[in-house]
Structure 1
Amino acid sequence: MSAEATTERPAAGRRPFFRRRKTCPLTGPNAPTIDYKDVKLLLRFTSERGKIVPSRITAVSNKKQRELARAIKRARFLALMPYILK
């Protein structure tokens, strides 16, 4: 056992557990508009069981997540989407 402390530093200014922020897929010039009739888009943001996927996983902004949840609930109510997938 040596008295020297071995300190390993991360390579060239990188933080060891830093994750890059994801950008919102529904914001920007070429982003699709959220509409309850666009079931194909809404199904991208639901799990295989039919639940709404949280924004920390999909990287959707808070404002767009609220719009998305409202559109999914409206599409479910109008029977365009199922409440539960089997």
Structure 2
Amino acid sequence: MTTPTFKRSNTQGASSGPSSNGDSPFAKKRKSCPFTVIKAETIDYKDVENLKLFITERGKILPRRITGVSHYYQKLLNNAIKRARHMALLPFVAEE
């Protein structure tokens, strides 16, 4: 008498999972750079309202992985924020 053999489905295993099928409800949408979308040539240090979107409540500059800004515009953004700080348009630290 032969024993029945069962094929294992490929739905379970180490190679497949929520990250491999692309239909995961927890998959994060890739962030797009807000400056690339509007094709900005420069970032103005005097535009304090827009610069405040990229700093924390304590005055720290937010990293690229959180804001989704491209490498090129992150450099421009850092320089604009630092320039605005020296011109006293933005605070260096949070006010308590």
Does 2:14 match 1:14? Answer: no
Answer whether contact 2:44 2:80 (CA < 8 A) is retained.
Answer: yes
Answer whether contact 2:54 2:67 (CA < 8 A) is retained.
Answer: yes
Structure 1 unaligned spans of 5+: none
Give the one of 59, 62, 70 matched to 2:68. 59
Q: Deviations over 1:46-84 (max 9, x none)?
A: 001000000100000000000000000000001111101
Does 2:66 match 1:77? Answer: no
Structure with the greater alpha carbon radius of gyration: 2
Please give the TM-score of this superposition, normalised by the length of structure 2.
Answer: 0.69
Provide the C-alpha distance between the structure 2 equivalents of 1:79 and 1:67, rounded to a whole number of angstroms. Answer: 18
Provide the C-alpha distance between the structure 2 equivalents of 1:30 and 1:62, rounded to a whole number of angstroms. Answer: 14
Post-superposition shift, 1:33? 5.0
Answer whether contact 2:42 2:76 (CA < 8 A) is retained.
Answer: no
Post-superposition shift, 1:27? 1.1
Give the one of 1, 10, 23 matched to 2:32. 23
Query: Residue 46 of structure 1 aligns to which amino acid in structure 2?
Result: I
Structure 2 unaligned spans of 5+: none
Provide the C-alpha distance between the structure 2 equivalents of 1:41 and 1:61, rounded to a whole number of angstroms. Answer: 16
Bigger drift between 36-45 and 16-25 goes to: 16-25
Q: What's the Cα RMSD here?
A: 3.0
Please give the TM-score of this superposition, normalised by the length of structure 1.
Answer: 0.76
